[in-house]
Amino acid sequence: MSATELVWFKSSYSGTQGDSCVEVAATEEAVHVRDSKDLTRPAFAVGREGWGRFVRHAVDH
């Protein structure tokens, strides 16, 4: 699935002034992450299990 076919969601922690915009899109296989300020940069994907570990770590710290 290409980045343009994904349904992207802006992080609730992103700034309201258009700065620090991180977006994610989840599929059955992976969670895709991109910087919405610079769409020339490629998005990256991480497995759902790895994403879960990242989120748990972020919440704990």
Element (H, E) at 49: helix 48-60
Sign of the CA dihedral 49, 26, 28, 40?
negative
Q: Give, for all 61 residues of the chain, the pLDDT tens digit.
A: 666 789 999 877 666 666 668 899 999 999 999 988 888 899 999 999 999 999 999 899 8
This prediction has a pTM of 0.76
Q: Is 18 left (phi over 0), alpha (psi -120 to 50) or beta?
A: left
- 31 forms beta bridges with 26, 46
